[in-house]
Chains A and B, each alone.
Chain A
């Protein structure tokens, strides 16, 4: 038997190992690769099943001990529920994918992405450390990007992938900010160690960050628009991402942080309003579609809204309803997507209006679809029924929420009936391919998922004790026994709400085409969608980036230099003026006299000689009649500076300066060898004045800075340290060199890398001139 820690590590990391191996397994086994690979999530599912009923478990290994960040995992009722759904549905979907993408050249890659995504999701729900949670959160964004854009030769798939990545990454950034704020508020990274934050000053900020993260991931209005576009992915991906995983990440996050942030007016209001609007919006928009997959996508948005709404209400019944609904939804929605995938795969279309009478040709698929549809409608003996009962019980006291929930559920139920029954009944239609039953691996998933919803409903007492109660307890400790009864109590007003829901749902089912027409009218009437808004924003961003780039990257060297030197001047003067550095030179107490720390001018003869040499070089540079003279004058001036270094005890510096001067003259001569050397640049007076001013200002600034530095007392700590330790511990008497290669070796390593990179860039530029007409 595995130790607990090792087991948790296997659960969290196993899928990634399988993902890395997937392409090789596929190369060996072809389409049967899905069978052994599905064993990985299957094994995780059964391993986790062993923890049902156990107390919460934690396991962690050190990750970044210096900052107290551990790779910490925690398995409580809530994470167990999510992890079971992820691994169980994952196993069935991987099995399904093998046949769905049979013969696809990139099947191995696809299975690898799926497994990696599943690993990220498992890590996300098991993490007990905000930063670990964030890491897995971002991993789900990246892997889902790969999955949505799997069919990357199609523009729509690429767009959907990028849109999902952009929107969910906004949430990822918000989550990062939230994690850091939580750390500041609580002093730790552990999630289970967090107390309620209600009274903390940071509550508002943390709440905003967590909400933004959850709303982007779980596609809450108005950030929902990425979800329908993510339907560009192959159907198994949609079945997985939009039933129990990806989009449930946000719901999980809110449920997980309910004990930390919940039960405040802000929490209840924001979550209820956004959840409610999202639910109705998604459900209404779903009726507009005829593409079965798009209908399901829109109902997913509605279901997500419903879950957020329930977390917002946050009483025991609502939270219990949230858990039941999550399980029921995961089962029927994954089943539905797989059914639609099978229909699409076998008939060649998934347009509702083009399908009919499939029940003879695909009877097993019909059974699976019907089971999913009934659970979505919430008939007794399906899990959806219990979800609906608890939801109504939880919202009984808020009449607006109750009304919204009845309408939302009715719409969802009507759509469930439409998707589950409409394609199978009525006269048979001609489809692009002649329909026949899907292969066994593609039937196993939807049938098992549909049956799961019913079997769990029939064993509701076991489910309530083993899963529902622990999961709800993890969010809010239950105060009384669960009462979920299989048979409806006909006298209960709750049951009346259910009956009302069913009647409305049947009305929606019957009048779907009318509803669709109305919604389409409204859509064309408005004419603008958030989806289009996203495009506008993205193109705007690109245009803005282009404008900024053109502003700064105009390609005029002299302007670049002007900017660099102007910045240098600012960097020199602003701190001196702003932070009072000049006071050191003219202390107010001495009536504006020069500070006594700076001695008078007291140079010896040869020192005067060097200074005169430097000045002469400078003057010659300014008045040089030709370019060659200017370059040589600059060399003279630099050599004089090197001499000053030599005279004042910095032989290393002088040595380097000499060599740099020699090389600069050589290299500059080489550069300008392509220009006529016997001319002088002709510049208009404005340029001359501008550059001259800048030069004088920068020079004056640097001189002043040096004087200011010298005016202060010299702090000998560093030099004393180097002098004392250089020989004993670094075995070198040349302190400059010892600092370069030993004390600050890491800096030097970075510097020489930059030198090399600059060299490569220069050589590349020089070679670019070879091709005539190419940008030089």
Chain B
């Protein structure tokens, strides 16, 4: 697993996969993709990174515990639903905001925030499991 070639290429693959995962997540509303798939791609990249460089490096690179990322995902997903309560609509009514930036119109919405939450949950949970499995005695070796 830790050949020179793999270890040299791995960071590159990981970077591309992470960028691609964000791209897939954000385009999901109109084309194939979405938070779930994006999260899976990101988690795979983390698994690859861990195989190449070891779990400790990955944990250092992630800064926060992956499970905290999952919790954050659930939190912002729920918060995106709560926003609509301020407009007097039922829970999780979507709110859309079109930002007009000279060149293009960027649509922002609560479903998008929700999808990003899904991304974080899937990414965080699977990374935590993958990292936990790769640590000989289960994890917590920051």
Give A758 to B44 CA distance when docked, in angstroms.
Answer: 18
* B41-75 interface bits toward A, Cβ cutoff 8 Å, 1 = contact, 0 = none: 10110010000000000000000000100110110
Q: Is the CB of A763 within 8 A of B139?
A: yes
Number of cross-chain contacts by CB at 8 Å: 152
Q: Closest chain B residue to A666 by CB distance? A: B47
Check if A663 sits within 8 Å of B132, measured CB to CB. no
Interface size class of B (residues with CB under 8 A): 35 or more
Name which of A753, A762, A763, A768 has the most chain B CB atoms within 10 A of its CB.
A763
* Nearest Cβ on chain B to A775's Cβ, whole angstroms: 13
Chain A contacts with B in 738-754, Cβ cutoff 8 A: 738, 740-742, 745-746, 748-749, 752-753
Inter-subunit contact A652/B129 (CB<8 Å): no
The stretch among A334-342, A471-479, A728-736 that forms the contact with chain B is A728-736
The reply to whether B28 and A737 contact each other, CB–CB distance below 8 Å, is: yes
Complex Cα distance, B135 from A769, in Å, reads 11
Q: A738-B29, A752-B77, A763-B67 are in contact. Are A667 and B41 (CB under 8 A)?
A: no
From A730, A752, A759, contact of B118 by CB (8 A): A752
Q: How large is the interface on A (under 10, 10 to 19, 20 to 34, 35 or more residues)?
A: 35 or more
- How far is the CB of A650 from the nearest CB of chain B, in Å? 9
* CA A667 to CA B51, docked complex, whole Å: 12
Closest to B28 in A: A737
A766 proximal to B (CB < 8 A): yes
Contact B111 A745 (CB under 8 A): yes
Judged by a CB distance under 8 angstroms, whether B122 is at the interface is yes
Taken residue by residue from 95 to 129, chain B's Cβ proximity to chain A (1 for < 8 Å, 0 otherwise) reads as 01000000000010101101101100110111011
Q: Does A756 contact B (CB under 8 A)?
A: yes
- Of A652, A662, A738, which one neighbours B32 at CB under 8 angstroms? A652
Closest chain-A Cβ to B52's Cβ sits at a distance in Å of 13
Q: Which of A652, A745, A748, A770 makes the CB contact (< 8 A) with B138? A: A770
Q: How far, in whole Å, are A760 and B67 apart by their CA atoms in the complex?
A: 7
Chain A binding surface SS class: helix
Q: Is the CB of B70 within 8 A of A759?
A: yes
Task: Tell me the B residues contacting A by CB distance below 8 Å.
Answer: 24, 28-37, 40-41, 43-44, 47, 67, 70-71, 73-74, 77-78, 81, 91-92, 94, 96, 107, 109, 111-112, 114-115, 117-118, 121-122, 124-126, 128-130, 132-135, 137-140
A659-B41, A759-B70 are known contacts. Are A741 and B114 too (CB-CB below 8 A)?
yes
User: In the complex the two chains form, is B124's CB within 8 Å of A759's CB?
Assistant: yes
- Residues of B contacting A730 with CB < 8 Å? 94, 111
A632 to chain B, nearest CB (A): 15
A737, B115: Cβ atoms under 8 Å?
yes
Q: Say yes or no for A604: interface residue by CB 8 A criterion.
A: no
Q: In the complex, A569 Cα to B92 Cα: how many Å?
A: 37
Q: Specify the chain B residue showing the minimal Cβ separation from A760.
A: B67
B29 touches A734 (CB 8 A): yes
> Which B residues lie within 8 Å of A589 (CB)?
none
Contact at B124–A734, with CB atoms within 8 Å? no
> Contact between A667 and B37 (Cβ–Cβ < 8 Å)?
no
B92's partner among A673, A746, A770 (CB-CB below 8 A) is: A746
Q: What is the minimal beta-carbon distance from A272 to any residue of chain B, in angstroms?
A: 54
Contact B133–A759 (Cβ < 8 Å): no
Given contacts A731-B107, A733-B30, contact A756 B94 (CB under 8 A): no
Q: Mark A197-219, 1 if CB is under 8 A from B, else 0.
A: 00000000000000000000000
The 10 closest A-B pairs by CB, nearest first: A759-B125, A659-B40, A766-B138, A670-B133, A732-B29, A651-B32, A752-B121, A733-B30, A766-B132, A737-B34
